[in-house]
Chain A
Amino acid sequence: MQDNEILVIENVDFRYRERKTLSHISFSVRKGEICGLLGPNGSGKTTLLKCINGILSIDAGRIVVQNRDVRGLSREEIAKLIAMVPQELNVVFSFTVIEMVLMAGSVRYGISGIAKKDDYARAREILEELHIEHLAERRYNELSGGEKQMVLIARALFQKAGILLLDEPTSHLDFKRQYVIMELIRKITRQKNLTTVMTLHDPNTAGRYCDRLVMLNDGRICYQGLRDSVFHVESLESIYGMRINMGHTDTGAEYVLPAYEQ
């Protein structure tokens, strides 16, 4: 294990009932990197994120976060190291945005889990940082998909963990919102020196924003490495099982499109 490897996944297996969902998963992520998990539906991306966060217990192998095996950590200790942004969060009881954000700091509040005055100020600072301070007193349930995603990211930042896990952060967003959210994720990862691991459906988003890619299919890693070494037509065709064309924009950035039959 190298010094700057903040997250190491070694030979991880996970079974859901009798079905092996993850098989021999091994990779590592360095501090400050954005790592994208890419693969078709059912390839095990979300399951892997939940295993990293300790929500699901792995059957074999180990997951090491900042030199500590996740299985040996309490839920509070994991929450101090890892923050998770779910794909979508619908809550039954309509908390306000500021309440939602404050809840993420509950591991720091002591036994009652209730925020103090200083925490309110800090939560508002984070909302200002993400330019959503005007949403503070709004009910979370009344927000649009994009606003909800911003609130969930603000909440993860308020948790003050070094590792950020995001499950399909742009899946329900329109074209512009996808761009805004991904730019924000890149900005906060760099500015706060976080380590970000996210599952993505769109290879173009992965290619544009990730430093490292892990490509999964059927619960196994097919390709992994730094973005430039694995983001190519062969790897994408292999995991998605379809013909793909790669092109370049005017600025030289690569993009991929399905190879449509004429």
Chain B
Amino acid sequence: MRRNGPFVIIVVLLVLSVIFALTTGQYHIRLATLWKLLSLRLTGHALGDDLSVPAMVLWSVRMPRVLMAVIAGAALAVGGVVFQGIMRNPLVSPSFLGVTHGAVFGASIAIVFFSKSALSIETSAFFWAIAAVVLVYVIGDRGINSITTLVIAGVIVSTVFMAAGSFLKYIADPYEQLPAITFWTMGGLNNVLWNNVIRALVIISIGITGIWIFRGKLNLMALGDEEALSMGVNVRSARVLFMLFGTLIVAAGSSSCGIIMWVDLIVAHISRLIVGPDHARLVPFACVLGGVFLLLTDTIVRNMPNGEIPISIVTSFIGAPLLGYLLMKQTRQWKE
């Protein structure tokens, strides 16, 4: 029980968070109403007139948003775990390898040059995020012991994409396009529809399943390239595989919700402190904790007294001090 305790607690927390998020908001849905709506949907019975408004709020607005928060949070957290594992650094996040700036550039292109529809922004952000990581790999890979060169390549590619993104902001229409780019880079789940949820769910499920299948190899990669080689891992192939799955899930999460800062880094770090570095435990725990973290943050964001604010503001306000606290706690332990 002691070993599985954190898993039981986090799953219970997820269920409670989902119930809390579904019932809370500008339009309050009572717990009994929620239960009734869920039962009616499961049994296929017709709704009464008195339930039409809460049903509309629940199924068209709140449920896709809540599910998206859980899915995207899980994706970002597992992405953080994977990149920290293969880079052997607990302070690394997928943005180190260009995912974030690639996605921002992709979204900006769609906003400035294309239809500005949610689908075009999402698709463009997704593909440019992946393109950025591919570019980083092409520049930085030099066989085994490539961590440093990959990080340097990540800085180079991120800088180029950042410059290109700034140029797009400069030429963007200041009344419509510029605010759209700015809001997208601060993240938000306010425009999430069922289509977004289904697309993200499919891609993120594939990515997380891939990572889960090869979780033992991720442990060996976390020890070091030569160690992994000595114990039978083809390090280059494994690195490509994990970068591919990691990028896929983070790009899918970011393209649907914009840039959400800190979730990847902080959730991976906290999860490792709670369940240890073994990826057989770390991946599922971070997956659920990431979902809980983003869902609760999004619930705070949409219940702000003066209206909704971009989610990255809150994740940064929670994430950065929390990491600082953990760092101070760890440093104190070392001194003792």
Contacts and interface: CB of A to CB of B under 8 A. Distances in A.
A75 B229 contact: yes
Nearest to B280: A114
Best-buried of B219, B222, B230, B276 by chain A (most CB within 10 Å): B230
A103 B232 CA distance: 10
Given A53-B230, A107-B232, A93 B220 contact: no
A99 B282 CA distance: 13
B227 interface: yes
A214 interface: no
Contacts of B213: 111-112
Nearest to B278: A99
A109 interface: yes
A106 B216 CA distance: 7
Interface string A83-122: 1101001011111100100011011010111100000000
Nearest to B88: A92
Interface in B66-115: 85, 88-90
Contact of A89 (B85, B144, B214, B223): B223
Measured as residues with beta carbon below 8 angstroms from the partner, the interface class of chain A is 20 to 34
B178 to A, nearest CB: 41
Contact of B215 (A74, A107, A114): A114
B223 A113 contact: no
A76 B224 CA distance: 16
B231 A107 contact: yes
Contact of A112 (B88, B215, B229, B272): B215
B217 interface: yes
Contacts of A159: 231
B219 to A, nearest CB: 6
A54 interface: yes
A71 interface: no
Interface of A is mostly: loop
B39 interface: no
Contacts of A94: 276-277
A93 B280 contact: no
A106 B217 contact: yes
B226 interface: yes
Given A93-B272, A109-B216, A111-B214, A104 B90 contact: no
A105 to B, nearest CB: 9
A112 B216 contact: yes
Interface residues of B, number: 29
Contacts of A222: none
A183 B229 CA distance: 28
A113 B229 contact: no
Given A78-B232, A106-B231, A111-B213, A86 B226 contact: yes
A106 B220 contact: yes
Contacts of A111: 213-214
Contacts of B88: 92-93
A112 B90 contact: no
A83 B230 contact: yes
A106 B232 contact: yes
B233 interface: yes
Contacts of B232: 75-76, 78-80, 106-107
B191 interface: no
B262 to A, nearest CB: 20
A91 B229 contact: no
A55 interface: yes
A154 B143 CA distance: 29
B222 A92 contact: yes
B234 A75 contact: yes
A33 B233 CA distance: 28
B283 to A, nearest CB: 11
B276 A96 contact: yes
Contact of B277 (A50, A55, A93, A112): A93
Given A54-B229, A55-B144, A91 B276 contact: no
Contact of B230 (A84, A93, A96, A114): A84
Contacts of A114: 215-216, 280
12 contacts: A55-B229, A83-B230, A89-B227, A92-B222, A94-B276, A99-B278, A103-B216, A103-B223, A113-B216, A114-B215, A114-B216, A114-B280
Interface of B: 85, 88-90, 144, 213-217, 219-220, 222-224, 226-227, 229-235, 272, 276-278, 280
Given A92-B88, A95-B223, A114-B216, 17 more contacts: A55-B230, A75-B234, A75-B235, A79-B230, A89-B223, A89-B224, A93-B90, A103-B216, A106-B216, A106-B219, A106-B231, A111-B214, A112-B214, A113-B216, A113-B217, A113-B219, A159-B231
